[in-house]
Amino acid sequence: MARALPLDEIPVYGKHNLPSKETDLKEGGMFIIDKPLEWSSFDVVKFLRKRIRVKKVGHAGTLDPLATGVLILCCGRATKSISLIQDLPKVYTAEITFGQATTTYDSEGEVTETADWEHITKEKIESALADEFLGTVEQIPPMYSALKYGGKKLYELARKGEEVVRLPRQVTFHEHSILNFAPPKLTLKTICSKGTYIRSLARDLGEALHSKAYLSGLERTSIGHFSIEEALTPHEMGDQLKEIWLN
């Protein structure tokens, strides 16, 4: 069985570094992609698999269709190292809207509840984040998620109107920074561990502030030291690769 390659041994391809025509991508490579809005993570894999010209391609950490930002694709031997990338801390810029709860905890779902939000201040948000959402905490995943229950994905059950008890999972929040608060919308930078649902953070923060809230926007700006500044969209990467292969 092939061993996982150390991350520092895997070539990284992005805005300022691309493979050459002679590169054998079956030996392994990582592509830093800026996932577009409304693309699933697997949409990106399917799109680039043909252009990378390697059958073995996978992504290292799902982004929801309504989220954008850094998605790392691994190809060839580098797919053995996906778990190492998933273990790296993630940085997100999240927009959270107070005053409403939704079925999916984000803007894709139906509104289920409304609540007052006028009492929420920046100081109260900072206090709630420091008291309840720093360090290792327990978080209940959303019903609309790809986690499995009884062999079925939770979102499949949710779409049938079913709800099951989800056990809390331990996640770690390393840091929060309020970038802007224009009530009822909060823009928050969050550094967190793998397995964290920012949708659940939005929902739980609303509850902690005696209101309701949902995630109205999300961008992943980095995974470890892999940053959005180095990322190309799927079409940009595809165009670059086409030019390389043809020349």
Q: Which residues form the catalytic set?
A: 64
Rounded to whole angstroms, the Cα distance separating 227 from 235 reads 18
**Residues 68, 198: Cα–Cα separation, whole Å:** 13
Q: Which alpha helices (H) appear in 6-143, and where do they start and end?
A: 41-52, 82-86, 122-132
Q: Compute the distance between CA of residue 98 and CA of residue 121 in angstroms, rounded to an integer.
A: 11
**In contact, 81 and 179? CB cutoff 8 Å:** no
Helix, strand, coil distribution of the chain in percent, nearest 5: 30, 35, 35
The amino acid at residue 4 is A
Place of tokens 């999916």: 104
C-alpha of 224 from chain center: 13
Sequence letter at residue 91 = V
